[in-house]
Amino acid sequence: MLKSKKLIQPGTHYLQGAEACAEGAMLAGCRVYAGYPITPATEIMEHFANRLPALGGRTIQMEDEIASASVLLGASWAGAKAMTATSSPGFSLMQEVISFSIMTETPMVVVDVQRPGPGQGYITTSQEDVMQARWGHHGEGSIIALAPASVQDMFDFTIRAFNLSERWRTPVLVMAEETVAHMRERLVIPPLEAIEIVDRRQPQDAGILPRDYLPYGHGQVPPMAIWGQGYDINHVSLVHHEDGRVSGYNAQTHFNNVDRIRRKIEDNVAAIADVEARYIEGCRHLVICYGSVSRTAVEAVLEARRIHGVAIGFIRLRTLWPFPEAKLRDLVPGVETIFVPEMNLGMMKHPITEALRDRCRKVVAIPSLGCLHTPDQILARIREEIQ
Amino acid sequence: MTDTAHPMLKYLKTTGPSGPRLPFIMCPGCGAGQVLNYTLHAVDQLLAEGELQKKDVVFISGVGCSSRLTSHYLQFDSGWTIHGRSLAIATGALLANPNLKIIVFTGDGDAAAIGGNHFIHACRRNLNVTIICINNGLYGMTGGQVAPTTAAGAATTTTPHGNVEDPFDLCRLAETAGAAYVARWSTAHPRQSVKAVVKGIRKNGAAFIEILSQCPVHKKTDPVEMFKELRQITARSTDAAAMASGKIPVGEFCDIDKPDWISRYQRIIDQLRRQEDHSCTV
């Protein structure tokens, strides 16, 4: 385990996904971690508890997941980059704070190391929270959710999650799975100067004085004043005017408030959403997947192409939300069958179908619960369908 | 501001670019405004004495009548947050910046029901925060429902046939959980309340100050009568005869010095950094 007070160094490492996630967060500038133990996410908090104090940061084990997520609000307002990690039952409890974070435009990172549900479900692997990520919080507002597939992704995507969170003043979710959190494999860290780190824009950066500062104004993503710097900022989640006033309610103010918060994400999908495509040229069929399933799905695609001569392409959603509809439509001019292997009973299949309904004849879910598909399982389903 | 303006108005955002923020949302006769007044007097005193810097003072609250004090009125940094979660949010703020002087406004429902667990653990951690709980014995914002502090037998909108539960003693709860300073007063004890808030802010640890308050609207009683009653039903906890007669104890219940969460954690940070410096030189 890395014990240096220094940040993880460039070079080749052999790490667990959970450790890579924590190291990426610390490199991105995370200095407050709050969590509550839950299998299979606990290793992330243990790594923070060991490493963060030497960096001058603080790790706290709170009384539950609601409190853990709440800590991020206060920490973020007081100027820190902060994160928590949990697993699916805890993720349910954090939805209250996620909703509040959207409305108050508070940067924070929540890592969900998904396990199967409903209920206690099981403690193995899962992708059953991908819809909860988007729709679990009450009320309107968009969300950013990333889907890592490797130890390298756990590092890279966690850094990107902080960058997106700071850039767009919004909660960002890393939808990990037990598979990627517990796997150990190679992690390559480039020279530190090659890693982009984004910090939130503050009113001082824009030359805005306290007397002129509008906490929810000055553009689509308002600059964020930090507590303790004399800006007298009042954070409120009731529908508010640009100056933070909550009286004088009217429907137009309400619409402007919430519509801006949604549009700052949805108008910028091209900058936020990220997909990876292979073998698209001339393909007649397509696999669309995300997370660790993409590791076995790509094997199935390769075997289908090489051994069985099937013209099948591969797309991996690196970002689940905002849903990359325009990017998918640009990539897919028209195919016969789209296969969607997921570690659930068919969730992302729905937005995929909605985006590509006129670009394919059929969308076929390949479900799995509690364990990763083997390449053979995916291949068998493909061959069964297209023979 | 005229000569007759309230001396604490200087700490309020009375208006702004989008329009006026006053009048207060509080009902006529409500005690929450009095508690805000006492608290601002305490802050004003500490600012005048140079013990506090205004930019470091942060008010945090959850949801409910008492929490509404931080909504958009205060000319300070503040957060009007989630029902029951204000102390967890205060925890995060201190972890990020231990120099902040955090004052939490909460109510009996916010602190003792939905936020009960966070309240217990903030006291146990001896978190350096001043918790001011405005206890009116019911849920005011939602229309007068039963609270964990409502007297047994009381009729409320959700206990129309009488409350079958006994109330919490929040001060005993705070003391048992580990708060460093615990006191109870009422809106009818203005000078004592101001003094308690001053001591609470000075305390390096969790300070819990319960202020019993009147809700004339939901109790359908004249506010002046309720205000007088608060003096009649309370007595100093040191007054044995009054305590034997069943009066509600007021006064200071706990005032001790012990390390808070941040200072204990800081020792770990310092120790690890010394070890690291040493290991780098060999």
Lowest mean per-residue pLDDT among A10-19, A32-41, B108-117, B273-282? B273-282
CB-closest option in B56, B92, B117 to A32: B92
| Residues from chain B contacting residue A248 (CB–CB below 8 Å) | 18-20
Per-10-residue mean pLDDT of chain A, 387 residues long, equals: 69 98 98 98 98 96 98 98 98 98 98 98 98 98 98 98 98 98 98 96 98 97 98 98 96 98 98 97 97 98 97 98 98 96 98 98 98 98 94
Give the nearest partner residue to B92 out of A73, A228, A247, using CB atoms: A73
* C-beta separation of A272 from A265 below 8 A: yes
Flag if A74 and B25 touch (Cβ within 8 Å): no
How many Å apart are CA A107 and CA A76, to the nearest integer? Answer: 6
In a domain, A93, yes or no: yes
Residues A36 and A168 in one domain: yes
Collapsed DSSP state (helix, strand, coil) of residue A183: coil
Q: Do the domain assignments include residue A95?
A: yes
B89 with A71: Cβ contact below 8 A:
yes
Q: What is the pLDDT of residue A5?
A: 55
State the pLDDT confidence band at B4, using cuts at 50, 70 and 90.
confident
CA nearest to A67 within chain B: B88
Encoding tokens for residue A143? 């969300």
CATH for A130: 3.40.50.970
Angstrom distance (rounded) from CA A49 to CA B200:
31
Distance CA A238, CA A241 (A): 10
Distance between CA atoms of B60 and B86, rounded to whole angstroms?
6
Confidence of residue B279 (pLDDT cuts 50, 70, 90): low
Judge whether residue B84 has pLDDT over 80: yes
CATH code, domain with A298: 3.40.50.920
DSSP per residue, A213-267: --TT-SSSS---PPTTSS---EEE-SS--TT---SS--HHHHHHHHHHHHHHHHT
pLDDT digits (tens, 9 = 90+) for B127-171: 999 999 999 999 999 999 999 999 999 999 999 999 999 999 999
Task: Select the residue of A32, A71, A230 nearest B55 (Cβ to Cβ).
Answer: A230
Nearest to B103 by CA among B76, B125, B132: B132
Task: Specify the 3-state DSSP secondary structure of A210.
Answer: helix
Instruction: For residue A258, tell me if it sits in a domain.
Output: no
Split into its structural domains, chain A has a count of 2
The answer to whether B91 contacts A71, with C-beta atoms less than 8 Å apart, is: yes
Mutate to test the interface with B, among A51, A59, A63, A212 (most CBs of B within 10 A): A63
DSSP secondary structure, A317-330, as one string: ESEEES--HHHHHH
Question: Does A31 map to a domain?
Answer: yes
Under 8 Å between Cβ of B138 and B146 = yes
Q: Which SS3 state, helix, strand or coil, does residue A61 take?
A: strand
Confidence (pLDDT) at A6: 81
pLDDT in tens, A21-47: 999 999 999 999 999 999 999 999 999
* A326 and A177 inside one domain: no
Which residues in chain B touch residue A77, judged by CB atoms under 8 angstroms apart?
A: 79, 93
B18 to chain A, closest Cα gap in Å = 7
Per-residue burial over A286-295, b if 16 or more Cβ lie within 10 Å, else e, is bbbbbbbbbb
Chain A residue with the nearest C-alpha to that of B52: A228
Distance from CA of A378 to the nearest CA of B (A): 45
Could you tell me if B87 and B104 are in contact, meaning their C-beta atoms sit under 8 angstroms apart? yes
CATH superfamily, domain at B26-281 = Thiamin diphosphate (ThDP)-binding fold, Pyr/PP domains (3.40.50.970)
Owner of token pair 């040493």 = B278
Q: Is residue A263 part of a domain?
A: no
Between chains, do B80 and A234 touch, taking CB under 8 Å as contact? yes
Interface probe with B: pick from A9, A238, A245, most Cβ of B within 10 Å: A245
**Whether A36 and A184 share a structural domain:** yes
Count the helix, strand and coil residues of chain A and give each as a percent rounded to the nearest 5: 40, 20, 40
Domain limits for position A346:
274-386
For residue B276, name the pLDDT band (cuts at 50, 70, 90): confident
Model confidence band, residue B281 (pLDDT cutoffs 50, 70, 90): very low
Q: What is the pLDDT of residue A2?
A: 44
Residue from A224, A69, A232 nearest B58 by CA: A232
SS3 letters across B226-255: HHHHHHHCEEECCCHHHHHCCCEEEEEEEE
**Alpha carbons B232 and B225: distance in angstroms, whole number:** 10
Single residue among A194, A222, A249 that ends a domain in this structure = A194
In degrees and rounded to multiples of 5, residue B175 shows phi and psi of -65, -45
Q: Is residue A252 part of a domain?
A: no
User: Do residues B26 and B33 make contact, with C-beta atoms less than 8 angstroms apart?
Assistant: yes
SS in 3 state form for chain B? CCCCCCHHHHHECCEECCEECCCCCCCCCCCHHHHHHHHHHHHHHHHHCCCCCHHHEEEEECCCCHHHHHCCCECCEEEECCCCCHHHHHHHHHHHCCCCEEEEEEEHHHHHHHCHHHHHHHHHCCCCEEEEEEECCCECCCCCECCCCCCCCCCECCECCCCCCCCCCHHHHHHHHCCCEEEEEECCCHHHHHHHHHHHHHCCCCEEEEEECCCCCCCCCCHHHHHHHHHHCEEECCCHHHHHCCCEEEEEEEECCCCCHHHHHHHHHHHHHHHHHHHHHC
Within a domain: A132: yes
Condensed to tens digits (0 to 9), the pLDDT of residues B196-248 reads: 999 999 999 999 999 999 999 999 999 999 999 999 999 999 999 999 999 99
pLDDT of amino acid B275: 85
> A39 and A85 in contact (C-beta within 8 Å)?
no
User: What is the CA angle B252-B256-B259, rounded to 5?
Assistant: 140
Chain B interface mutation, best of A232, A240, A254, highest count of B Cβ atoms under 10 Å: A232
